[in-house]
């Protein structure tokens, strides 16, 4: 059987911020449908790597392809909606968003009719099992509940790749288990590529995913 195509290919990426090299000559490849954990201590450059893949952080040297398109090009701009992103900590907002409104962000940029968008939101909420959080105020939810809504938000985008930055760092063991199980399910049922950044030793111990260790801006 042929190997699946690479979903993310980074070659010799270097990122420098204020004169400090955050990523050094980093090369990295993830095949479609893979589950990868990028592990490493704080300051290793894990979050920067995700931001580079998302196009949120510029790099000075190297090439980066995501879903077959060079990042930063017009072609990539069209495909970047297929990359979902759950950030480090559940966003803390002193603003009255409802749970449903947070999930709706996932469909906000899609060229779909109102009915189709509503259906996508409903399906994503049902898939993650967070229907009971729809009407509650986001700011008053627990870290685990917020992360579930974040994953539902990404699901609405119908992503091919899901990037998660320390999604379990502030969660209790039960919530952490739930989030990992949800991610495993998404990968197994939908073939979604998952790249999870974590320094949580429990996550590393509990999963059998491919683990890449980062240290001082490159892979060890």
Partner 1 sequence: MNIAQAFSYPPILRGFLALLIAGCFFPMAGVFILRLNLVTLRFTLMHAALLGAAIGLALHVDPLLAGLVLDLGAIAAIARVARESGLTLGYVATFFMVLTIGLAFAVIYKAGVPSKDAFGILWGSVYSLSRVDLAATAAYALAIAIFVTVLFPRVSAVLFHREIAFASGINEPAITTAILLFVGMSVALLMKLIGALLLDSILLLPAVVASFTARSARGFFVQACMIGAFCSVAGFFSSLALDVPASSAVTVIAACLLGAGLVYRRIARRRS
Binding site for partner 1 (CB under 8 A): 51, 54-56, 80-81, 83-85, 87, 91, 93-98, 101-102, 104-110, 137, 153, 157
Tell the smallest beta-carbon distance from residue 134 to partner 1 (Å).
10
- Looking at beta carbons only, is 96 or 129 nearer to partner 1? 96
Tell the smallest beta-carbon distance from residue 150 to partner 1 (Å).
8
Tell the smallest beta-carbon distance from residue 215 to partner 1 (Å).
25
- Looking at beta carbons only, is 104 or 212 nearer to partner 1? 104
Q: Read off the tokens for 111.
A: 């060229």
d(CA 76, CA 53): 11
Got the DSSP string for the chain?
A: -PPPPEEEEEEEEEEEETTEEEEEEEEEEEETT-EEEEE--TTSSHHHHHHHHHTSS--SEEEEEETTEETTSHHHHHHGGGEEEE-SS----SS--BHHHHHHGGGTTS---HHHHHHHHHHHHHHHT-GGGTTSBGGGS-HHHHHHHHHHHHHHT--SEEEEESTTTT--HHHHHHHHHHHHHHHHHH--EEEEEE--HHHHHH--SEEEEEETTEE-
Tell the smallest beta-carbon distance from residue 200 to partner 1 (Å).
22
- Looking at beta carbons only, is 94 or 113 nearer to partner 1? 94
- Looking at beta carbons only, is 12 or 170 nearer to partner 1? 170
Tell the smallest beta-carbon distance from residue 208 to partner 1 (Å).
28
Tell the smallest beta-carbon distance from residue 26 to partner 1 (Å).
20
Q: Read off the tokens for 58.
A: 């510029």
- Looking at beta carbons only, is 56 or 126 nearer to partner 1? 56
- Looking at beta carbons only, is 79 or 177 nearer to partner 1? 79
């Amino acid at each position: 059987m042929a190997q699946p195509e690479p979903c993310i290919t980074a070659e010799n990426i270097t990122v420098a911020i204020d004169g400090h090299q955050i990523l050094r000559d980093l090369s990295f490849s993830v095949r479609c449908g893979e589950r990868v954990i990028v592990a490493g201590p704080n300051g290793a450059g894990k979050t920067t790597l995700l931001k580079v893949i998302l196009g949120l952080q510029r790099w000075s040297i190297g090439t980066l392809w995501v879903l077959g398109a060079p990042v930063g090009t017009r072609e990539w701009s069209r495909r970047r909606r297929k990359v979902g992103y759950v950030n480090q900590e559940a966003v803390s907002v002193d603003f009255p968003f409802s749970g449903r409104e947070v999930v709706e962000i996932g469909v906000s940029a899609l060229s779909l009719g109102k009915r189709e968008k509503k259906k996508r939101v409903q399906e994503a909420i049902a898939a993650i099992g967070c229907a009971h959080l729809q009407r509650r105020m986001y700011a008053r939810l627990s870290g685990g509940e917020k992360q579930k809504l974040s994953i539902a938000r990404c699901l609405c985008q119908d992503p091919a790749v899901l990037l998660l930055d320390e999604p379990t760092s502030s969660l209790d063991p039960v919530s952490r288990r739930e989030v990992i199980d949800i991610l495993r399910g998404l990968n197994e049922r939908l073939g979604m590529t998952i790249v999870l950044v974590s320094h949580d030793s429990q996550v590393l111990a509990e999963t059998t995913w491919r683990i890449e260790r980062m240290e001082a801006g490159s892979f060890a």
